[in-house]
Structure 1
Amino acid sequence: MMFRVLISGTFGELGDADRSRLSSGAGLLPGGFTEAGTFTCDAGLSAFTFRCQVPPEEDDDEPGVTRRAMAVLEAHGYPYRILRVAVTDMRDIKIRRKGHAPPAAPR
């Protein structure tokens, strides 16, 4: 299983090369979670959402997973300010299959 990390923030002062790269869509994928991380950002290149998939390691905790996701964000090289980080442990997600009704509540 994996951890999915969603980081919302604002870009710092972007250089011309960064703006050009972001405007051209380089590194921008349609919102998927990948180990390399994907950005979605507003048209003005001020706010962004970064989605990252982090493989589990022994004795993982939320701060450790967050640190590893932040390292992936740092590797992209854009200046930023973090507003919010959300970590989801995919082992905790329960999938309800279509057509399988939950058991009826006792009366």
Structure 2
Amino acid sequence: MATQHTYRVIVRGTWDRLSDASRATLLAEVADHGMAQLRFTPEGSLVYDAALVSFSYRYTIVSDAEDGEEMAAALAEEKAEAALRAAGHGYRRLRAKATDMDTMKINRKGRG
């Protein structure tokens, strides 16, 4: 069985050709998608502001370590695309950056 790693992935994009309905929905929910709600979750956490220029999703992806960060980034992009399509929101320029949490080095300051 392959070793599983946990990745934190940020998918960034820009809003594109938002319909009046999408714009109204996003603006009505903007308070629910601010920096205070910023979390990495398997379902994805959407963050944007009232300017409706750009957005980001935060995902936790568990995948085979041998597939690496590239696969985790691709999986998160697919999830973001599916969520945006399901909501009917226009977007463009999705790009993802993944961090392998199982190989991340944590520097701890000693007690002194």
| TM-score above 0.5 | yes
Q: Number of residues paired by the alignment?
A: 101
Within the candidate set 64, 68, 79, 2:71 is matched to 64
CA RMSD of aligned residues (A): 2.4
Within the candidate set 48, 55, 65, 1:48 is matched to 55
- In the alignment, structure 1 residue 94 sits paired with structure 2 residue 105: yes
Letter in 2 for 1:85: A
SS in structure 2 at match of 1:91: coil
TM-score, length of structure 1 as denominator length: 0.75
Gaps of 5+ in 2: none
Specify the structure having the higher radius of gyration (Cα): 1
Report the identity percentage: 34
The aligned residue for residue 19 of structure 1 is: 23
SS in structure 2 at match of 1:4: strand
The aligned residue for residue 28 of structure 1 is: 33
Deviations along 1:2-32, one digit per CA (max 9) or x if unpaired, are 1111122211111223223322227736111
Write 1 or 2 for the structure with the bigger share of helix.
2
Write 1 or 2 for the structure with the bigger share of strand.
2
Gaps of 5+ in 1: 102-107
TM-score, length of structure 2 as denominator length: 0.72
Return the alpha-carbon distance in structure 1 between the equivalents of residues 94 and 25 of structure 2: 23
